Amino acid sequence: MGRASKREQIAEAAFRQFHERGFNATAVGDITAAADVPKGSFYNHFPSKESSALEALRRYSATLRFELLSETDAPPLQRLRAHFEFLGQDTVEGGFVRGCLVGNFGAEVADHSEDIRQAVQSGFGAWGTQIERVLLEAREAGDVDRTLDAKGTATFILSAWEGTLIVARADKSATPMDAFFRTVFDVLLRPLPAGPDPIRSPSTLPSS
């Protein structure tokens, strides 16, 4: 297998550095040192640190395992839970130091860079759409209340997850994640008890 190109080395190092240290705490020199390339090489491939951050967001999106949401061999809510369980496990195994790169950049850089703000907005929008599709499937299958607002609920779940990661990183504990899973899957997405079929209920049956 051939050696990665210098651009690939720099892009991958930037992704790792931004995810572990944040945007402001990461200097171009940190990226090139991590990539083991001369500092001047950075600007041969990226016009600015901001442009390498946009590439880092694209790379991060590829790690979120959206395929767990679209697989058809499991019920929709089971797929949704598996998606967030994967992300939670990744956070735990990472020692609660990285969190979500999209959320990190949204909190740290979005007010100061319109390009990054738009990329964060787009990332959350695409993610929310995937969650919404799963919720629509669950609604059609009768797994959740048929009046569930799939779009609004997807936005809420994603927002709740981002907040969960912040608290988990502050606590260095998975306890906030446990609360997320209980609240989302055992309360918010719990189907209402099945009532009598209105067509076949005793009050609508013809009298004998």
Across the range 12-38, mean pLDDT stands at 96
Are 25 and 92 within one domain?
no
Mean pLDDT (the chain, rounded): 90
Structure tokens at 178: 């446990």
Q: Helices 114-140 and 150-171 meet at what angle, rounded to 10?
A: 120
Are 105 and 149 within one domain?
yes
Q: In the predicted model, is pLDDT for residue 1 greater than 90?
A: no
User: Which residue, 156, 62, 166, 155, is CA-closest to 104?
Assistant: 166
User: Which residue, 59, 48, 50, 74, is CA-closest to 9?
Assistant: 59
- Sign of the dihedral through C-alpha 56, 57, 58, 64: positive
The DSSP call for residue 202 is G
The answer to whether 39 touches 32, Cβ cutoff 8 Å, is yes
Q: How far apart are CA 21 and CA 95, in angstroms?
A: 13
> In this structure, is residue 1 part of a structural domain?
no
> In this structure, is residue 71 part of a structural domain?
yes
Domain that holds residue 55: 6-59
Which CATH number does the domain housing residue 108 bear? 1.10.357.10
> In this structure, is residue 193 part of a structural domain?
no
Q: How far apart are CA 116 and CA 24, in angstroms?
A: 13
Are 156 and 92 within one domain?
yes
> In this structure, is residue 205 part of a structural domain?
no
Are 36 and 88 within one domain?
no
CA 1 to chain centre: 32
- The residue that leads in pLDDT, 152 or 73, is 152
- Sign of the dihedral through C-alpha 107, 113, 118, 119: negative
Are 93 and 14 within one domain?
no
Q: What is the pLDDT of residues 101-141, one digit of tens each?
A: 999 999 999 899 999 999 999 999 999 999 999 999 999 99
| Helical (H) or strand (E) element with 144 | none
> In this structure, is residue 159 part of a structural domain?
yes
> In this structure, is residue 119 part of a structural domain?
yes
Are 37 and 88 within one domain?
no
The pLDDT of residue 72 is 81
Are 52 and 38 within one domain?
yes
